[in-house]
Each structure stands twice: as C-alpha cells, then as structure tokens.
Amino acid sequence: MATTKHRVPGKQTVYYFPSFVSEDEETFLLRKISESPLPKWKSLVRRRLLQVLGGEITPNGALIPQDLPDFVTSYPPLIGRIQALGLFEASKHGKPNHIIVNEYLPGQGIMPHQDGPVYHPVVATISLGSHAVFHYHSFEDSSTPDAPPDSGEPADPSAVSPQSMSGKAAALPQIGSIGQIPILSLFLEPRSLVVTTGEMYTDHLHSLEPVIEDIFLPGGQVIYGRSTGNPLNVSEVEIANKDLVATEAYKQALQEGGSLTRGTRVSMTCRDVERVSKFMHKSI
C-alpha cells in the first residue's frame, strides 16, 4: 500500500503524512475556518472549538447529517484525499463524514482522552498554522475506563475521559490509571496529516501538552511533562516520526536539539460516525 512508507516506525497503526495540504490550501482553509458563522463557535478552557462540520452528534451517538462544506470536499478535496489513502476502507462510509475544528493558542493543549466508540476507530487529523507535539498514552492496567465524558473537555460529546482526569485543571493524570510517560510521541508539522488506527485508537489515549514552546534534545527527543510544574514528572521521550518530518527547519531542531515556539494551531479532526440519523439537519 502507498501508505506503508508513512507508517510511524515502531507502530503498525499510526501514519504520518507531511505536506498533506499545500501552503496555498492552508491559507485558504484558515481563512474559510475563521469566516465561520459565530453561532458555531464555542469557548473551552484549554482551546477553542471553532466548528463542527458534517452535523451534530446526538447523545445516543447518531449523526444528524449536514453537508460538508466545499472547503473540505472540493477545494481542497480533503475528504477525497483522505479516502484515497485507503485507511478508512473498513469504515461504514469508507471516508470521514464528520470534522471537528479546534484552535490552540500557544500554551494550550488537550488532556489525555479517547475519542470513543461513536466513531469508526480511525481518526485523521490535519494540522494548520503551527507545529505541535502529539502524545499517545497507555492505561496502566490496560483496561479502558467506563467513565462518562467529563467536564466539557474534550468538547467532543462522544469522547471518553478517564475518571482520573475529571479535574478540569489537570493536564496530566494525578493518579495511576494512565502511564506517566507517553508510549509514542509525534512531531506534527503544519500542513501534515496524522492517522491513528487499530489499538492505538481503541486502547490508548492521546494528548497535546499545554506549553508555549517545545524543547528538543539532539537526536530527536522532546522534553515531556513540564506543564505539570513537578520536575519529577519531566522525562525525555523519543519523537517516533522524526525521519518522516519534511521541513528543513524542523528536521534541524529534531536532529540538533533546540526549542520551537508554538504559534496558533488549527486542527481538523476527521472521523466517520457510523450511525447516521435519517433526519437531515435543517438550517434555520
């Protein structure tokens, strides 16, 4: 498969595609997203939910479908491009039908969580505007929690947060159900796509640390855990996709070490909601 060379070394179930959108497309997408009608905007503690594209999901996990906008179906043809990778082949619709658009200012992140069973267990995330460092975590007892979604974060109604993370302010687990050290960490370039499948979707959590800058050591490690304020939580973790990173300046930071300041990042998280209601959303 053409995707094989995009597999993150050491993981069969995570794929990284640099330059998935062009610079012109990135500019266009950021403009289109910022022009979104205000009622769709919601403020969250750690990031801003900009838009939900494709329709709202009911508390029972069914999508009330709404047409996806031209800026994801036509120019640029993001959905077609994702479908062509073949990684959604086993999902009901063969491609994403739902996109959550989030904005992260420097210093904002998202705590470890799972995306939950409402979606087919494949998620494709496009990064725009800034780099980020993305972490995957294990459950220490390798069981998944049965806690309901907590305090409004993640914004996604179907996302599952472990009980240990239910404190709003907690950036990292305070009690032991989530491994302290990420099991996999990725460098996400602006304009890249990362696709998480299989057990990395179903049995693991993912997060973005709320930091203003990312600090790298020579050889492609990143410092993790600074946001907890506790030096005992700080560790060095390997950037698993360092050899797939395409931009010279980022390659250099990963090879030689250094720090990279975060800018405003907009992410587009694309998934397939398998249960679709027969009722179409009607615009008022």
Residues that bind ligand AKG (CB under 6 A): 100, 102, 110, 115, 125, 154, 156, 159, 206, 267, 269
Question: For residues 101 and 223, which CB has a smaller minimum distance to ligand AKG in the complex?
Answer: 101
Smallest gap from residue 284 Cβ to ligand AKG (A): 26
| Nearest-CB residue for Fe ion | 115
Smallest gap from residue 113 Cβ to Fe ion (A): 6
What does the CA dihedral 115, 117, 122, 128 come to, rounded to 10 degrees? -30
Smallest gap from residue 194 Cβ to ligand AKG (A): 8
> Could you give the CA distance from residue 61 to residue 79 in angstroms, rounded to a whole number?
22
Question: For residues 194 and 237, which CB has a smaller minimum distance to Fe ion in the complex?
Answer: 194
HEC readout, 101-112: EEEECCCCCEEE
**DSSP symbol at 160:** B
Question: For residues 51 and 267, which CB has a smaller minimum distance to ligand AKG in the complex?
Answer: 267
Smallest gap from residue 267 Cβ to Fe ion (A): 9
Which partner, ligand AKG, Fe ion, none, binds residue 100 by CB below 5 to 8 Å per kind? ligand AKG
Question: For residues 25 and 115, which CB has a smaller minimum distance to Fe ion in the complex?
Answer: 115
Question: Under DSSP, is residue 171 helix (H, G, I), strand (E, B) or coil?
Answer: coil
Which partner, Fe ion, ligand AKG, none, binds residue 204 by CB below 5 to 8 Å per kind? none
Smallest gap from residue 269 Cβ to ligand AKG (A): 4
Which partner, ligand AKG, Fe ion, none, binds residue 102 by CB below 5 to 8 Å per kind? ligand AKG
Smallest gap from residue 110 Cβ to Fe ion (A): 7
> Could you give the CA distance from residue 193 to residue 123 in angstroms, rounded to a whole number?
10
Q: Concatenated DSSP letters for 49-89?
A: EEEEESEEEPTTS-EEE-PPPHHHHTSS-HHHHHHHTTTTT
> Could you give the CA distance from residue 218 to residue 85 in angstroms, rounded to a whole number?
33
Amino acid at site 270: C
Question: For residues 115 and 189, which CB has a smaller minimum distance to Fe ion in the complex?
Answer: 115
Question: For residues 159 and 254, which CB has a smaller minimum distance to ligand AKG in the complex?
Answer: 159
Question: Under DSSP, is residue 255 helix (H, G, I), strand (E, B) or coil?
Answer: helix
Q: CA dist 214 to 98, 144, 170, 219, 260, Å? A: 30, 29, 19, 15, 5
Residue ranges in contact with Fe ion by CB under 5 A: 115
Which partner, Fe ion, ligand AKG, none, binds residue 267 by CB below 5 to 8 Å per kind? ligand AKG
| Nearest-CB residue for ligand AKG | 267
> Could you give the CA distance from residue 53 to residue 65 in angstroms, rounded to a whole number?
9
